[in-house]
Chains A and B, each alone.
Chain A
Amino acid sequence: MHIPDGFLTPQVFIPAFVITIVFWAICLRKVKLTDKQVPIMGLLTALFFAAMMMNYPIVGGTTAHLLGGAAIGLILGPFAGGISVTIILVLQAFLFGDGGLTALGANVLNMGIIGILVPCGLFLMLNKAFRADGKKLYPIIFVCAFVGDVLAAIAAGTELGLSQPVFQYGLSVAVPAMALNHSIIGVAEGIVTMILIGTLLRLRPDVLEQSPILKKLPIFQNKKENPE
């Protein structure tokens, strides 16, 4: 989903940069990490850089890759998560030309802001509404990751569609194509996010307990209320 240089018009990539710079400023101001989260941030940054190297065949000979925003955002929180995904996207653009420099703001907006804030916000809402414990936890994680991916793809489609002098398909073609194709990778994102959080929940609940998002899970809240 990395948009290269030359696909977006300045009317699109400049506002995307402005939104992204504001988001970075908020992240740097608001981020709070604990000692246990520090190595996990390094690990997740590396893990999803590697995960993005795998291009899954989807439909019509096209491919897509995982975004990682849901897992990173839910485990580290939206602000540390935003910084982690930004590191991935900046190094991909500067070292490998994966995503253009003029499109960096748009790529961060799609994968690092929408791809993170949507799953985090949705998780908080669904956890409040349904109490994400037991069997309900995994469907909720899946939905958050899936919706995050699809909305990130819709945002990318919108940016391309609005760059009509270059991308003549316009919104009516670019948005549905991106949404449909990325809904398939959204399923994979949901499964990977469920597996990752499920594994950490069994092996390192102490790390998840420190997440600004996952600490709201009933298992951690109950523990806080009944420490013994």
Chain B
Amino acid sequence: MATNKKTHKTLIIGLAVAMIFVLVGVFALSYSMETLDRQAEQLGVEEHPVYEPPFPDYAIPGIDSVWGALAIGVAGTLLLFGVGLAAAKVLRMRKGQKA
């Protein structure tokens, strides 16, 4: 179907752009010092995490390289695509949603 073909093309182009964002984010624009982080640093305010995430700061524990960050970025993007798509499908299938 023409719409399906168009949708696949849109998804491929969109995900390719997302992967470019990941590459730029990992290799060129990875340094992060947000305004609130800078203010916290000046005030001596420290983070007090209430939970230990599996991949802190987008890194694979034990792998101290940009390749770990790249793997996390690629896997994270695909995971978010899957979760976003699944959520949209569930919302679409709800009672009263189908036309």
Contacts and interface: CB of A to CB of B under 8 A. Distances in A.
Contacts of A203: 10
A28 B90 CA distance: 11
- The secondary structure that dominates the B interface is helix
B39 to A, nearest CB: 6
Contacts of B45: 6-7, 166-167
The number of chain A residues touching the other chain, given as a range, is 35 or more
B58 A177 contact: no
A140 B31 CA distance: 32
Contact of B33 (A39, A61, A97, A174): A61
A136 interface: no
Given A43-B14, A49-B76, A50-B18, A96 B55 contact: yes
B17 A47 contact: yes
B61 to A, nearest CB: 12
A155 interface: no
A57 B38 CA distance: 13
A51 B77 CA distance: 10
Nearest to A97: B53
B38 A96 contact: no
Nearest to A88: B80
Nearest to A92: B76
B97 A33 contact: yes
B75 to A, nearest CB: 10
Contact of A160 (B21, B36, B46): B36
Given A97-B49, A167-B40, A47 B34 contact: no
A47 B36 contact: no
Interface in B79-99: 79-89, 91-92, 97, 99
B40 A83 contact: no
Contacts of B56: 96-97
Contact of B39 (A5, A6, A53, A174): A174
Contacts of B37: 62
Interface string B38-54: 11100101111111111
A4 B55 CA distance: 15
Contacts of B84: 41-46, 84, 87
A6 B46 contact: yes
A21 interface: no
B92 to A, nearest CB: 5
Interface of B: 3, 6-7, 10-11, 14-15, 17-19, 21-22, 24-26, 28-40, 43, 45-58, 72-73, 76-89, 91-92, 97, 99
Given A38-B85, A44-B84, A91-B80, 16 more contacts: A3-B36, A7-B47, A38-B88, A39-B85, A45-B85, A46-B78, A46-B84, A47-B18, A50-B77, A54-B24, A55-B34, A62-B34, A96-B72, A101-B50, A160-B36, A177-B39
19 contacts: A6-B45, A32-B97, A33-B97, A39-B11, A45-B84, A50-B77, A51-B21, A53-B58, A53-B73, A58-B35, A61-B38, A94-B53, A101-B50, A101-B51, A102-B50, A153-B35, A169-B39, A173-B39, A204-B10
